Amino acid sequence: MTNQKMTIIDVRTPGEFMGGHVAGSINIPLQEIQNRKDEIMALAQPIVLCCASGMRSGQATAYLKSLGVNCENGGSWLDVNGDY
């Protein structure tokens, strides 16, 4: 995936995101995912979602996949930081 255009969305809170995040990622907290679905669907896909442990990003991934978004749960942002 490293050569493809893609988007990394960090679903942690803004405070958590400010404490460290994947370079180039965007912060859309989990509680805002539903309200910002149109914005998310317009982003370059595939989309990789991450958070602290993979729990919140898993919830966001399941929701976005139900809408037909090409996305995956990257798990912890620390893992995504090394993989993408």
- How does pLDDT run across 45-78, given as a tens digit for each residue? 999 999 999 999 999 999 999 999 999 999 999 9
For residues 24-30, give the mean pLDDT: 97
Q: Which CATH superfamily is domain 7-79 in?
A: Rhodanese-like domain (3.40.250.10)
pLDDT above 90 (res 5): no
- Cβ atoms of 25 and 11 within 8 Å: the answer is no
Q: Tell if the pTM clears 0.75, that is, is over it.
A: yes
pLDDT above 80 (res 82): no
How remote is the C-alpha of 41 from its chain's centroid? 12
Helix (H, G, I), strand (E, B) or coil at 23: coil
For all residues of the chain together, what is the average pLDDT? 93
So what's the pLDDT on residue 15?
Answer: 97
pLDDT above 50 (res 35): yes
